[in-house]
């Protein structure tokens, strides 16, 4: 009888779902975060998370090697894919105003096992994404210092290994990337001190970098030569691949697909961040209204800025003459505006700083949600500082992990892991919206995603196309990461799950699970 009882509990637990009432109840009291963010602050958080290395670096690489001036359409395609996912995120964020983002939404709709998978996937997205951004921040600031005749000592100049042009890993002579480590330490300190302090710092960085982006667009538009837009799509409009093998379009360097769609898969990294707003749901003053505003507004603002930036840079400089390392500042140098180069470099550093802040802000809140459910040790990951009202222990741990990865690993390894993890999260959230509409159609939805099921289905399709366009090595790394996560879940999480204890009590007391399924007799 014990074996049958245990089996019943386990099967019910793996696919058991949490209710909205449970979610709201569990965040009450001393474990609740401080509600201090309005719609403007949330939108600034979104813009802060999105505009960074993508707009200052990826524009050059994608235009030069992959899409040409058609990069403008690449941004449209990637933006549309994100809009579908953003609408689904906005619906859930208005329904469940608690920390956890896609992890929480999966728990509501698909059950505990899927929730763990997506939560572990978000750990990959935010932690590795933050390490990638820290690496990019260091690179930009190092170049800015070098332009002013300041050279860092070799031992702390960059990561100890890097990927050369031939695709081989080589040593650099450095021990660690000192600048990457330093900025992570500063961001960790700000995040521990409080959400208001973090929001103010982010707002300052956002104002600075948006001002620089608008400067580039407004001033650069006077120097556009429309002849540089011809041919508009020198690599074609396609560039689809399946597990790294081109199935539609041309191939470029190292056998990689090129074209407008290939450009969309590359610059998708530039859009990562709007989903981070949903992790701050518990800190929004009026989450049912403000979260959808923040998510959708930040994505639309950044999409418009991205398209305009791509148009200006490819108009100022012919696509095959764009500097792939510093495309924006180099473009102004080519037209004789040398004084603008330092200003643009400062804007890039500020932009990347705010991205790092929001990434590192989001990670501990996902861990907090998982710990509240018992899937991670709650004494550590759910600990809220009595004065600052922040998840301080998990924030410090996040800083240690991000600092180690950002200062020791090459950016190529890190960036490849981020895209596939984010796309998986987007696809699951889109699917969860359709499931929730069927299983709980009468649940209050302050914001409703329009045209369901068309919007979530299109979101899933766009995400799958971009996922399958990534090389098979990315899928292997994702599979290995999820395998590690499943080992942790089945060895710790499922035994300490709060939902498991509820199921055990219900079955032992009433002979049925909460879903009303009778316990099998031996």
Q: What digits encode the pLDDT tens for the residues 348-398? A: 787 788 888 888 888 888 898 888 888 999 889 988 888 888 888 999 999
pLDDT at 501 exceeding the cut of 80: no
Compare 178 and 417 and report the one with higher pLDDT.
178
Pick from 4-13, 113-122, 467-476: least confident: 4-13
Q: Is the pLDDT of residue 73 over 90?
A: yes
Least confident window among 101-110, 299-308, 487-496: 101-110
Q: Which of 25-39, 165-179, 246-260, 309-323 has the lowest mean pLDDT?
A: 25-39
pLDDT score for 316: 92
Across 491-500, average pLDDT: 85
**508, burial (CB in 10 Å: exposed 0-12, middle 13-18, buried 19+):** exposed
Q: Evaluate if residue 498 carries a pLDDT over 50.
A: yes
Residue 487 confidence class, pLDDT cut points 50, 70, 90: very high
Q: Is 127 helix (H, G, I), strand (E, B) or coil?
A: helix
User: How many Cα atoms within 13 Å fall on the side-chain side of residue 166?
Assistant: 3
Is 273:49 a contact under the CB 8 Å cutoff?
Answer: yes
Tens of pLDDT, residues 100-133: 677 888 888 788 888 898 888 888 878 888 887 8
Tokens of 91: 């619906």
- At 221, the pLDDT band (50, 70, 90 cuts) reads very high
Burial (0-12, 13-18, 19+ Cβ within 10 Å), 28 = exposed
**pLDDT above 80: residue 37:** no
Largest CA distance in the chain: 84
What pLDDT was estimated at residue 182?
92
Model-level pTM? 0.80
At 284 the three-state DSSP class reads strand
Percent above pLDDT 70 for the chain = 85
- Cα-Cα-Cα-Cα dihedral sign, residues 116, 117, 119, 120: positive
Tokens of 245: 């093998």
pLDDT for 22? 66
Q: Is the pLDDT of residue 254 over 80?
A: no
Per-residue model confidence (pLDDT) at position 266: 78
Per-residue pLDDT, 325: 66
Confidence at residue 486, expressed as pLDDT on a 0 to 100 scale: 93
What percent of the chain stands above pLDDT 90?
15
Is residue 416 over pLDDT 90? no
Structure tokens at 377: 């040790």
| Residue indicated by tokens 């200052």 | 56
pLDDT reported for residue 268:
78
Q: How confident is the model at residue 10 (pLDDT cuts 50, 70, 90)?
A: low
Of the listed ranges 69-73, 180-184, 345-349, the least confidently predicted one is 345-349
Q: What pLDDT does 164 receive? A: 65
Average pLDDT, the chain: 80
Query: What value does the mean pLDDT take over residues 252-270?
Result: 78
What CA–CA distance (Å, rounded) separates 277 from 106?
17
pLDDT at 186: 93
What pLDDT, in 10s, does the model give residues 94-105?
Answer: 777 666 677 888
The answer to whether residue 424 scores a pLDDT higher than 60 is: yes
Give the pLDDT of residue 515.
47
Q: What is the pLDDT of residue 30?
A: 45
């Amino acid at each position: 009888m014990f074996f049958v009882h245990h089996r019943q509990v386990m099967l019910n637990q793996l696919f058991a779902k949490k209710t909205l009432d449970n979610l709201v109840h569990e965040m009450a009291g001393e474990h609740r975060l401080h509600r201090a963010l309005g719609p403007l602050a949330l939108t600034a958080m979104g813009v802060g998370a999105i505009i960074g290395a993508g707009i200052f670096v990826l524009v050059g690489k994608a235009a030069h090697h992959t899409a040409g001036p058609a990069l403008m359409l690449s941004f449209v395609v990637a933006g549309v894919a994100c809009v579908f996912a953003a609408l689904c995120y906005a619906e859930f964020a208005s329904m469940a105003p608690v920390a956890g983002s896609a992890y929480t939404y999966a728990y509501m709709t698909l059950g505990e096992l899927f929730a763990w998978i997506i939560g572990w996937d978000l750990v990959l997205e935010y932690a590795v994404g933050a390490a990638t951004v820290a690496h990019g921040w260091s690179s930009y600031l190092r170049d800015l210092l070098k332009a002013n005749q300041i050279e860092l000592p070799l031992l702390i100049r960059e990561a100890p290994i890097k990927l050369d042009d031939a695709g081989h890993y080589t040593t650099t002579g450095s021990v660690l990337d000192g600048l990457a480590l330093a900025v992570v330490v500063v961001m960790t300190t700000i995040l521990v001190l409080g959400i208001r302090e973090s929001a103010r710092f982010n707002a300052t960085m956002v104002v600075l970098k948006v001002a620089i982006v608008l400067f580039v667009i407004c001033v650069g538009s006077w120097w556009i030569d429309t002849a540089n837009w011809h041919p508009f799509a020198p690599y074609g409009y396609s560039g689809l691949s399946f597990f790294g093998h081109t199935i539609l379009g041309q191939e470029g360097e190292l056998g990689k697909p090129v074209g407008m769609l290939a450009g969309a898969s590359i610059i998708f990294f530039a859009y990562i961040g709007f989903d981070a707003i949903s992790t701050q749901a518990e800190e929004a003053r009026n989450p049912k209204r403000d979260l959808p505003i923040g998510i959708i507004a930040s994505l639309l603002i950044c999409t418009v800025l991205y398209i305009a930036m791509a148009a200006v840079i490819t108009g100022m400089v012919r696509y095959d003459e764009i500097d792939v390392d510093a495309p924006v500042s180099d473009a102004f140098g080519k037209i004789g505006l040398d004084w603008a180069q330092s200003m643009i470099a400062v804007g890039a550093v500020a932009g990347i700083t705010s991205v790092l802040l929001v990434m590192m802000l989001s990670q501990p809140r996902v861990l907090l949600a998982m710990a509240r459910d018992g899937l991670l040790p709650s004494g550590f990951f759910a600990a809220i500082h009595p004065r600052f009202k922040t998840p301080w222990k998990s924030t410090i741990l996040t800083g240690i992990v991000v600092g180690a990865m950002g200062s020791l690993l090459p950016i190529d390894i890190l960036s490849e892991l981020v895209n596939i993890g984010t796309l998986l999260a987007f696809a699951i959230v889109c699917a969860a919206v359709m499931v929730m509409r069927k299983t709980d159609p009468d649940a209050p939805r302050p914001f409703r995603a329009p045209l369901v099921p068309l919007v979530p289905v299109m979101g899933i399709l766009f995400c799958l196309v971009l996922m399958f366009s990534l090389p098979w090595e990315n899928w292997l790394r994702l599979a290995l990461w999820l395998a590690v996560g499943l080992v942790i879940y089945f060895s710790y999480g499922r035994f300490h799950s709060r939902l498991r204890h509820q199921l055990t009590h219900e079955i032992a007391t009433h002979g049925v699970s909460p879903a009303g399924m009778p316990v099998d007799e031996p």
